[in-house]
Amino acid sequence: MNKQLILILVATLTCSTVHAVPIAVLNAGFEDAASVSAPTLVPSWTDGPGSTFGATVLTPNSGLQPFEGNNLLTFQVANRILQQNLGQSLQADTRYTASVEVGAVRNVAGWGTLEILAGGNVLASETLLVNKTLETGINYSDWTTLNVTFDADSSNPFIGQELSLRLYRKNGNFSAAFDAVSLNANPMGVAEPQTGVLMLGGLLLLLRAARKRN
């Protein structure tokens, strides 16, 4: 085999194995036992600006079951915010992808929101309607993944400021539930695995053609 081709193949494989780096979110599934005994205090999370005692950790024995573990998070009062400061700063040329599972604990309308922040500034926000009765909503007792993505380029004014995640229920009735929060950071400009696989496929075809010529 041509040495150059071998080097290209190795480089392609190396490129295609780069993965997103998870950023630790504490008590991400609301499983910390203290949550349940003191439901208005959610360990590792704090109330967001202007929000107090809005979040509740439930250990349901009927209706919506937790996406993972024994507990889920919900909000008994609208416009309450739960926030976690992550102890890591916003990095340039990085794609951040946050996700949370959103469900409905009541058969009424509710809105679940997930936000990525740096230095208290909202970088990206997504909201999911939770309502059994609307076709566009999530079915009662189902979970749907809510994803939020933000690309921090080198000119972003909040580079170096601390990252946070926020969960909240903007309006509506007591319905939206949350579980399994996560955040990943992925350096931008790195080939996605799919791209690497495609490149590898092309290179193998070239290799086969070169062999035939010899």
Q: Is the Cβ of residue 118 or residue 180 nearer to Ca ion in the bound state?
A: 180
- CA end-to-end span of the chain, whole Å? 11
* Residue 165 neighbours by CB under 8 Å, 6+ apart: 25, 83, 84, 86, 98, 114, 115, 116, 117, 181, 183
Q: How far, in whole angstroms, is CA 62 from its chain's centroid? A: 27
Q: Is the Cβ of residue 36 or residue 198 nearer to Ca ion in the bound state?
A: 36
List 35, 100, 123, 179, residue binding Ca ion (CB under 5 A): 179
CB 176 within 8 A of CB 95: no
Q: Is the Cβ of residue 9 or residue 41 nearer to Ca ion in the bound state?
A: 41
Q: Is the Cβ of residue 12 or residue 27 nearer to Ca ion in the bound state?
A: 27
- Using alpha carbons only, how large is the chain's radius of gyration in Å? 22
**x-marked contacts with Ca ion along 29-58 as a string, rule CB under 5 A:** xx----------------------------
Find the residue with minimal CB distance to Ca ion.
29
| Residue 66 sits in the site that holds Ca ion (CB under 5 A) | yes
Site residues (vs Ca ion, CB under 5 A): 29-30, 66, 68-69, 71, 179
